[in-house]
Structure 1
Amino acid sequence: MTEATDPAGHGASRVGYLTVLYDQSCPLCRAAHRWLAGRAQLVPLHFVPAGSAEARQRFPGLDHAATLRELTVITDGGLVYVSDGAWLACLWALADYRGMAERLSSPRLLPTARRFIAAAAAVRRSTRSEDYGGGCDDQCR
């Protein structure tokens, strides 16, 4: 395993593991969870269902309704990445995708990465009602 540094350049220094809060009621999120979990990891990814009792206990300061709307990743040091930063942190943790994550986070490619992530989020949002985030409406199952 290579030395872990900061996935998004925000001063995380060393990262021992990342906790990924994912929406277990969303098919896209479940597929992403399976895909990430099935890849070789340079930095271990721990998966916790967003909004769950475990998530609320481990991270009491988070807006848990928001974690159901946006992918959220927390470093073992407590830094929180949301949305595109969270997706890039997940890719950065993977052995075969770290280089891609670093390229995508460059000033030249970050706007394109953000558009791609926003498109994926739009697909996900299309399966949800407008008030989703306070509780699951199970429309996506």
Structure 2
Amino acid sequence: MITRLTVLYDASCGLCRTARAWLAARAQLVPLEFVAAGSTEARRRYPALDVRDTLADITVVADDGGVYTGDGAWLICLWALDDYRGLAARLAEPSMHPLARAVVATAARVRNYGRDCDGTCAI
């Protein structure tokens, strides 16, 4: 049973920081903890994870040992949120996974009034 999720995100990317803030501001059924990918803390906690991979796309580590990347990571982030768990369940169909990323990216962009990523992030 998952009781906590750690989200590794690119702290140098404006959109990634905004998505992080958006996720953090939502009511959470499963607590989300945010750690900058590639940071000393991330390397200490998760030495087996490839830093380049965690910087290239969001990575979520569950307290049960599960590791989620890419679309699956966005899906589990939505699943952790109170108001988005139902949507996450609907997006659980593999063909729908990319929409989880789009939901978070769109919400972050709207909240950030058009400021965008510098193009290096994978949101």
Q: Quickly say closer, same or farther: Cα 1:112–1:31, change in 2 above 3 A.
A: same
1:127 aligned to 2:112? no
Q: Indicate the residue corresponding to 1:93 in structure 2.
A: 80
* TM-score, normalised via structure 2 length: 0.81
* TM-score, normalised via structure 1 length: 0.71
1:97 aligned counterpart, secondary structure = helix
Percent identity between the two aligned chains = 56
Report the Cα distance in structure 1 between the residues aligned to 2:28 and 2:85, rounded to whole angstroms: 10
Structure 1 stretches (4+) deviating beyond 3 angstroms?
A: 115-118
Alpha-carbon RMSD: 2.0
Q: CA deviation at 1:28?
A: 1.1
1:66 aligned to 2:64? no
Report the Cα distance in structure 2 between the residues aligned to 1:112 and 1:77, rounded to whole angstroms: 25
For structure 2, which runs of at least 5 residues remain unmatched after alignment? 106-115
User: Counting helix residues as a fraction of each chain, which structure ranks higher?
Assistant: 2
Structure ranking higher on relative contact order (CA contacts 8 Å, 6+ apart): 2
Q: CA deviation at 1:65?
A: 1.0
Larger Rg over CA atoms: 1
Query: How many residues get paired?
Result: 109
Report the Cα distance in structure 1 between the residues aligned to 2:65 and 2:97, rounded to whole angstroms: 24
Q: Which amino acid aligns with 1:114?
A: P
For structure 1, which runs of at least 5 residues remain unmatched after alignment? 1-13, 133-141
Q: Which amino acid aligns with 1:33?
A: R
Q: Which amino acid aligns with 1:127?
A: G
